[in-house]
Structure 1
Amino acid sequence: MSQVSLHGKLKYDVEYKTPADQVYEFWSCNFKDIPKACSKIIHSIELLQGCWGKEGSIHVMTYSLVEAMDCKKKYMSLKVIGGNLLDHYRSIKFILEQVTPKGDGASMACWTMEYEKLNENVPDPIALRDAGVNTNKAIAAYLSQA
């Protein structure tokens, strides 16, 4: 009998019509503005600990920890550390792998969602990945209007 892996990764890319620096700055420094960009998906974000745009800061959304940031590489790692997502998953991490320029002022944000399920009966978090895609699309629209 083969053993089911509890670990997984889901990747997604979202095109922005704004420069890579602007996209990364929004995600890393203006995280608090996410509800302005996509209020139908994320209603509020509060700073629980630390400073906006700094490693180690903790946000109240589902309690996410900014685990790592690299402004030069436009890399950021957010780890879920509380909330109802952890009722089904041992760990969930959203990683902004890179934001690359595409020319004409556009850019591509490449994300990876890493997760570990609590048991083999828990489904892969496809709906959560889709919410990540929709959040990025809403932010892309918001930034292109700014």
Structure 2
Amino acid sequence: MAATAAEMISGKLEAEVELHCSPAKFYDMVKNSVHDLPSHTPTHVQAVQVHEGDWDAHGTVKFWIYTCEGKLEVFKERVEYDDAKRIVKLNGLEGDVMKLYKVYNVIYQFVAKGDGNGDGKQQGLAKLTIEYEKLNPNVPPPTKYMNFITLLVKEADASLVKAA
């Protein structure tokens, strides 16, 4: 059975990264001090700035300057938080990635492994999802951005563990 045109244009990529710091700590960094991310991941993120709103407020618009596959890029997003489930959703608004995708949303969820609530020193997982809709069928899926996000989480995790 052949894929429909909509299926060829829209999609979702998923990955998991094992965390060595607690899921609660990683979520807290992403929600409350993402402006410090460049100090944790200098090879990937050069700056994160608030464009509209407050750092930890639902609906805040942030502007990212980052390096993906050796190329400096920018990304403007509106962020949503779900504290109970430790989910951060970045809804793409503008930037380099939006030249290829009509819809580009990145979802991070930080979950505990096994029993427990992810506080303290418990390790966990970062579940990563990219929801996308290509501007046309010739655009590749955002695999390079999933690779970028995976590397970013691994580097930030190692830095958070080292800083503990």
TM-score (norm. length: structure 2): 0.83
2:105 pairs with 1:93: yes
2:38 pairs with 1:20: no
Alignment-mate amino acid for residue 128 of structure 1: Y
Q: In the alignment, which residue of structure 1 is the partner of 2:14?
A: 11
Task: Say which of 95, 102, 108 aligns to 2:125.
Answer: 108
Task: Say which of 52, 55, 60 aligns to 2:58.
Answer: 55
Alignment-mate amino acid for residue 130 of structure 1: N
The alignment-based identity, stated in percent, is 26
User: Could you list the runs of 5+ residues in structure 2 that have no partner in the other structure?
Assistant: 65-74, 115-120
Cα deviation code 1:118-138 (max 9, x no counterpart): 000000111110000000001
User: Could you list the runs of 5+ residues in structure 1 that have no partner in the other structure?
Assistant: none
Helix, strand or coil at the partner of 1:44: strand
Cα deviation code 1:87-111 (max 9, x no counterpart): 1110100012x32222662111111
Q: Distance in 2 between matches of 1:18 and 1:142?
A: 9
Q: Distance in 2 between matches of 1:59 and 1:100?
A: 24
Q: Distance in 2 between matches of 1:2 and 1:101?
A: 36
**Runs of 4+ in structure 1 over 3 Å off:** 1-4
Q: Distance in 2 between matches of 1:101 and 1:86?
A: 32
- The CA deviation at 1:76 is 1.6
- The CA deviation at 1:3 is 3.4
Helix, strand or coil at the partner of 1:135: helix
Root mean square deviation of aligned Cα:
1.5
2:120 pairs with 1:117: no
Q: Distance in 2 between matches of 1:87 and 1:122?
A: 10
- The CA deviation at 1:2 is 5.0
Matches within 5 A, 1:130-145: 130-145=147-162
